[in-house]
Amino acid sequence: MKRITLTAACAMALLILMSSSCASDDTITLTPPPPQHVPITTSFQFITIGKQPPPEIYRPQAKRYYREAFRRMRDADWFYAVSSYSEVLHINFRSATTQEARGTANLYNGDRQDAIRDYTSAINLAPDNPSFLLRRAYAAYTADPPDKQTAVSDTTQAIELDPTNHMGYNQRAIAYTLPPNPDWPAALADMDQSISLNTQHDSQAYMLRAWIHENLGDHQAAQADREAARTTTK
């Protein structure tokens, strides 16, 4: 079966796509772009970074570094955000939230392997947090080369921890589509589950499933999903 590939225009759009962010005085919401092999230009990951230090950060100096890191993240100054979070961890290395935040700063700074190491530290400190697993899965399937095994394993664990969260199925579906040997039926099953759980009717989820249907040769189902995407507001 012939695999549907990206057009040159889509590939270029993904290469130049900048992650959008929504900032307030207390939080930043980051939306990193999807991997280049996925022809959808809107992210499926949402990462929230908080200004206020978590409870385990109690020393005044560590709190100051944590808030400085937030300001750096807000200004997209990723290198110095990593440095500030590192100062926090030098004082209090057992902060899972800080490990995750530094992982995200490394991710945006282009250091996938450092991001994976930070997310791994966060997971070791808080193994029951599915968000940390989804962060590492994202870093794994957007690495060069992608680490499909880690991405599938992490998203599966995230689903086991929270089977009602549609994002786990969404992220695993993306992991299944990684070349050179994509598992399109497994990806479709996960997107079916993701869409059934997502009460917000995300248009990009329908577009992702349409792409999967096309690669399975079901053009009628793909067109139905594209129509569904057009009726949504997101």
Q: Do residues 205 and 191 make contact, with C-beta atoms less than 8 angstroms apart?
A: yes
User: What's residue 202's pLDDT?
Assistant: 84
Residues with Cβ within 8 Å of 29's Cβ and at least 6 positions away in sequence, in order, are 21, 22, 23, 46, 47, 48, 49
Residue type, 144: D
Residues 37-53 have pLDDT tens digits of 898 766 667 889 999 99
Report residue 100 CA to chain centroid gap: 12
Tokens of 92: 């209090």
Confidence check: pLDDT of 226 > 70: yes
Environment class of 36 (CB within 10 Å of its CB; exposed 0-12, middle 13-18, buried 19+): middle
Tokens of 160: 């086991």
Domains of the chain: 8-182 (1.25.40.10)
Please, which pLDDT band fits residue 234 given cuts at 50, 70 and 90?
low
Calculate what percentage of the chain has a pLDDT beyond 70: 87
Confidence check: pLDDT of 23 > 70: no
User: What's residue 43's pLDDT?
Assistant: 65
Confidence check: pLDDT of 17 > 50: no
More confident position, 2 or 202? 202
Q: What is the mean pLDDT of the chain?
A: 88
Mean pLDDT (whole number) for 99-118: 96
Mean pLDDT (whole number) for 63-68: 97
Q: DSSP alpha helices (H): ranges in 53-111?
A: 60-74, 78-91, 96-108
Of 19, 16, 40, the C-alpha closest to 29 is 19
Confidence check: pLDDT of 101 > 90: yes
User: Could you give the dihedral angle defined by the CA atoms of residues 234, 213, 173 and 19, in that order, rounded to the nearest 10 degrees?
Assistant: -40
Q: DSSP alpha helices (H): ranges in the chain?
A: 8-16, 60-74, 78-91, 96-108, 112-125, 130-141, 148-161, 166-176, 184-197, 203-215, 219-230
Residues 130-173 have pLDDT tens digits of 999 999 999 999 999 999 999 999 999 999 999 999 999 999 99
User: What's residue 22's pLDDT?
Assistant: 54
Please, which pLDDT band fits residue 16 given cuts at 50, 70 and 90?
very low
pTM score of the predicted model: 0.86
More confident position, 9 or 86? 86
Environment class of 169 (CB within 10 Å of its CB; exposed 0-12, middle 13-18, buried 19+): buried
User: What's residue 21's pLDDT?
Assistant: 47
User: What's residue 32's pLDDT?
Assistant: 86
Rounded-to-integer distance, Cα 183 and Cα 173, Å: 9
